[in-house]
Amino acid sequence: MSDRPLALWLKILGTLLLVFLLLPVIVVVLASFTSTAYLTIPPRGFTLRWFAEVFSDPDYVSAIWLSIKLAIASTLIATVLALPACYALHQRWVPCAVLIGNLMMSPLIFPAIVIGVAMLQYVSILDLRGNFGILVLAHSVIVTPYIVRTALAGFSGLDPFLEEAALVLGANRFLAFVHVVAPAIRSSLSAGLVFALITSFDEVPVTIFLLPPGTATLPVSIFTAIDQGSDPSVAAVSTLLIVITALLLIVLERFAGTRRLM
């Protein structure tokens, strides 16, 4: 009986903390539907005008497409590089596997602004500043730790006898990986891909330093709009980002079953 009041208070505290964390999101969503030409809470009236303005603004549209291309390209490159590396580290095919794994996670240690300044100086020395390919590689560095972490978690939970059985039955190492290992780590890898996509899409500090002239990603466009004096269209595009991120997480949970990673 004595534990029930404590459990009740913990639930109340957890609910209050959740509301506190979600309150800024709720404010942004409500502000995106206001009929006034300025941000106001509570919103006055209801309109979808600001969402229409986002999709009719060529600057926003080009920024959205650039962010999508950048996120997909950097995630694919990071996956192609990180997945074989994680497999080799899991199999202990290279010496100092733990140290190498930690080094691959190191971009999470440094602030993004530090990485951005360092990369800017590096590409300036190579005279490659303003190159979209360099921006993709920079984002690949940033998102690689998310794929590494989830892939290694998937490999650690893999039954080694499954792969050995495939090898004994005549499959080579590649076929065993494709037909046995890859399906077994699907949930972990899917989570890493989604986290990498979201991280790349939302990245600002590194992107600002390396953007080609005359271009902007969606987060950079939002920051620029806020600096110049925000209107409800900023709240509208922010709401779209919130909805897209939530849908990605729901799809991930529905088809990959990420709760098994908890």
The stretch 167-180 carries a mean pLDDT of 76
Report in angstroms the alpha-carbon separations of 121 from 109, 112, 116, 209, 210: 19, 14, 9, 10, 10
Structure tokens at 49: 């005008």
User: Between 130 and 261, whose confidence is greater?
Assistant: 130
Whether 149 is covered by a domain: the verdict is yes
Amino acid code (one letter) for 158 = L
* Amino acid letter for position 116: G
Q: How far apart are CA 174 and CA 84, in angstroms?
A: 11
In a domain, 34, yes or no: no
* Cβ contact 196:75 at 8 Å: yes
Average pLDDT estimate for 108-117: 82
Please name the amino acid found at residue 188: S
- Decide: 147 and 189 in contact? Cβ < 8 Å: yes
Task: Give which of 183, 239, 244 is closest to 32, Cα–Cα.
Answer: 239
Q: What is the pTM of this model?
A: 0.79
Average pLDDT over residues 159-181: 75
Range with lowest mean pLDDT among 202-206, 241-245, 252-256: 252-256
% of the chain with per-residue pLDDT over 90? 2
Residue with tokens 């979808």: 48
Residue 42 lies in a domain: no
Residue 24 lies inside a defined structural domain of this protein:
no
pLDDT for 76 equals 92
C-alpha atoms less than 13 angstroms from C-alpha of 258 in its C-beta half-sphere: 16
Q: Is the pLDDT of residue 75 over 80?
A: yes
Burial class (CB in 10 A: 0-12, 13-18, 19+), 235: buried
Amino acid, single-letter form, for residue 9: W
Residue 100, CA distances (Å) to 84, 106, 139, 143 in order = 13, 10, 20, 17
Q: What is the average pLDDT across 247-255?
A: 73
For residue 213, the SS3 value is coil
pLDDT attached to residue 1: 47
Q: What is the pLDDT of residue 55?
A: 82
- Domain extent for 240: 49-261
- In this structure, are residues 191 and 262 in contact, taking their beta carbons and an 8 Å threshold? no
The tokens of 248 are what? 């990605």
Q: Each residue of 208-231: pLDDT tens digit?
A: 888 887 788 888 887 777 766 667
In a domain, 43, yes or no: no
Residue 255 pLDDT class (50, 70, 90 cuts)? low
pLDDT of residue 40: 67
pLDDT score at 46: 76
Q: How many domains does the chain have?
A: 1
> Rounded CA gap, 184 and 176, in Å?
11
Most confident of 1-5, 97-101, 199-203: 199-203
Asked if 90 and 156 count as a contact pair (C-beta separation under 8 A), the reply is yes
Asked if the model's pLDDT at residue 246 lies above 70, the reply is: yes
The residue ranking higher by pLDDT, 192 or 73, is 73
Structure tokens at 208: 């600002």
Q: Is residue 44 part of a domain?
A: no
Residue 110 resides in a domain:
yes
**Any idea what the CATH number is for the domain that residue 228 is in?**
1.10.3720.10
Question: Does 27 map to a domain?
Answer: no
Mean residue pLDDT of the chain comes to 79
Structure token digits, residue 196 = 């990498």
